[in-house]
Copies of this chain bind each other. A is one copy, B any other.
Amino acid sequence: MIERIAILGTGLLGTSAGLALRAAGFRGTITGWNRGAEGGLTALGMGAIDSIASDGIEAARASQVTVLAVPIYATLDWMEQLAPILGSEHLVTDVGSTKAQITAAADRLYNTPERAAFLPGHPMAGKERGGAALGDANLFRGAVWLFTDVPTWERSPHGAALVKGWREWVEAMGSKTIDIEATRHDELVGWVSHLPQFVATALSALLEEEVGDAPELKDVGGRALREMTRLGASPYSMWRDIAYTNTEAVQTALHALEQRLAHLRENLRTPALRDEFEQANRFRRDA
């Protein structure tokens, strides 16, 4: 039923979505738009999109489903621009890492009988570096793809069929879908996604200061160090909007970890160290 898709932003996620749709058997058109010419050409060359649109608004208007695959503030900006132009024959969805602000904007701008539908989405997949060239048809395979604000679809009867169709394509790309309330989403990813990232950043920055002048000694850390600092390569440009739009949840999580580390530091020679290891073991056993 979905035959025309526009992907606005052909970075890592947008390009991967195009490739994954093709790999899953999508035979309709995929039009791409990208702020920089190079990313668009790379996605085109990889077969993730069929054509490059010079105007993202026109591309969205000509499609049934528009996927916003840009940073969070750029997503909010596109939402404002597209809402007055699109109608009930359109679905807009996104891949942003925080959902409270995007879901609030969707409630305000979309999802009435006359307007386009908006389905806030968040695939829990990525790499520590971005860009079209790293696009991967298997990026979403085995990943969880979260959707928020799902209960409001009775307000957008036309959109409901498009939403159902898009969810089926997400599953065809290999993802498991989970519906979750937007505020709970942001709290949860604060713990399981943003906290690990900010810890890896702080650990990498600290180690750069402490052992950065002895590159041969970094080898000493081996696989464990490489894993614990891999996310240290993540660029600020990807994480700035997350830090701005989920500040409170991230602060809560960071503060809790600071206290946990202090507790561990004060108990390196007491039985409480065993308790910490055993609680950590439980997390991994259930994982």
Given A243-B269, A247-B268, A268-B243, A277 and B220 contact (CB-CB distance below 8 Å): no
Measured between C-beta atoms, what is the minimum distance from A94 to chain B in Å?
17
Interface code A211-243, partner B: CB below 8 Å = 1, 0 otherwise? Answer: 110011111111011111111111110011001
Flag whether A199 is at the interface (Cβ < 8 A).
yes
Decide: A286 and B215 in contact? CB cutoff 8 A: yes
Residues of B within 8 A of A198 (CB): 261, 264
A15-57 vs B, CB cutoff 8 Å, 1 = contact: the mask equals: 0000000000000000000000000000000000000000000
Known contacts A209-B279, A229-B283; decide if A257 and B261 are in contact (CB<8 Å). yes
Check B257 against A218 for contact (C-beta < 8 Å): no
1/0 contact string of A168-212 vs chain B (CB within 8 Å): 000000001010000000001101110111111111111111111
- Given A192-B217, A196-B225, A208-B279; A264-B273 close (CB under 8 Å): no
Contact residues, A255-275 vs B (CB, 8 A): 255-258, 260-265, 268-269, 273-274
Task: List residues of A whose CB falls within 8 A of some B CB.
Answer: 124-126, 128, 143-144, 146, 176, 178, 188-189, 191-193, 195-212, 215-222, 224-236, 239-240, 243-244, 247, 250-251, 253-258, 260-265, 268-269, 273-274, 276-287
